[in-house]
Amino acid sequence: MKDLVFLGIQGCGKGTQGKLLLKDFPNTVYMEMGQLCRALMSNDNGIGNYIRNIVNNGIMVDNFITHDLLHTTIQIAQKEGEGIMMDGFPRLMEQAEFMIKKMDEYKRDYLIVHFELSKERALERMQKRAAIEARVDDTPEAMQRRLAVFENETLPVIKHFESLGKVITVNADDTIENVQKELKSKLGL
């Protein structure tokens, strides 16, 4: 199977869908960029403090950090002979170009899964998640900044991958089970 990259507006359920699909592919390296950054920012040190300040303000983490995390993920998959599922990366064109370069360098084929959801539904889901999880980075201001980044930065990335014939689109405005069913169908599973 090709490596899979899950992209979509925040709150679209890409993490939920990825983790469900991962059950069918236990020998897969799962890279959730947001979770990796939250793990790093949980440390009370220079790296953790730096990332915490960025994330808590709803700003994109610097490319030098995300690029290193992607490169490490690819190297682990190469070493272990495993597939990759990426959640939430790349979000910027520079990140997409870096990912394409690294995937080509390691001769890895990939497919982008775009979980499509309206901005209004995404905001509803993010607000619900904020109430349940009480994440520090889920303030109303940070949510609005992340939605704007998706529209202005990530959507053009998805369009770029579409022009390369690398995207399948899944309707994320449905039940978890129905979204998973559509995802598996479009992946031919």
3-class DSSP state of 8: strand
d(CA 57, CA 50): 11
Chain position carrying tokens 């998805």 = 158
First-to-last alpha carbon distance for the chain, in angstroms, is: 10
Buried-state track 10-44, b at ≥16 Cβ within 10 A, e below 16: bbbbbbbbbebbbeeeeebbbbbbbebbbebbeee
Q: Is the preceding peptide bond at 90 cis, omega within 30 degrees of 0?
A: yes
What does CATH list as the number for 3-184? 3.40.50.300
d(CA 136, CA 47): 18
Distances from the Cα of 121 to the Cα of 14, 125, 167, 171, angstroms: 14, 6, 22, 12
Neighbours of 172 (CB within 10 A): 26
Query: Radius of gyration (Cα) for the chain, nearest Å?
Result: 16
β partners of residue 113: 6, 168
Give residue-wise pLDDT tens across range 108-120: 999 999 999 999 9
- pTM higher than 0.85, yes or no? yes
* pLDDT (tens place) for every residue of the chain, 189 residues total: 799 999 999 899 999 999 999 999 988 999 999 889 989 999 999 999 999 988 877 778 999 999 999 999 999 999 998 999 999 899 999 999 999 999 999 999 999 999 999 999 999 998 888 878 776 667 888 788 889 989 999 999 999 999 999 999 999 999 999 999 999 999 999
